[in-house]
Amino acid sequence: MAKITIDTNKCIGKGICVEICPFGVYQVRKIKGKEVAVAVKPHECLLCRACELKCPAGAIRIEES
């Protein structure tokens, strides 16, 4: 299982992680007036790290747990 950490201070809410994730792990949601990525299905992550590599803000970190 993956431990997904999203730095909401860095996240710019572009949704690239939503588009690139082949497993539907992410959604963009409005939190405290700011659109940010949220890992809604972290249990579905298979550690491909595509989201981590393509995030333009470097806001996603994936670790094996």
Indicate whether 1 pLDDT > 90.
no
Query: Hunting for tokens 């405290």 — which residue is that?
Result: 32
Indicate whether 65 pLDDT > 90.
no
Please tell me the class of the 2-64 domain.
Answer: alpha beta
Instruction: Confirm if 13 and 28 have CB atoms less than 8 A apart.
Output: yes
Q: pLDDT exceeding 90 applies to what percent of the chain?
A: 95
| pLDDT tier at 40, thresholds 50, 70, 90 | very high
How confident is the model over 21-37, as pLDDT tens digits?
999 999 999 999 999 99
- Please tell me the number of Cα atoms within 13 Å of 6 on its side-chain side: 23
User: How do the domains of the chain map onto residue ranges?
Assistant: 2-64
How confident is the model over 3-24, as pLDDT tens digits?
999 999 999 999 999 999 999 9
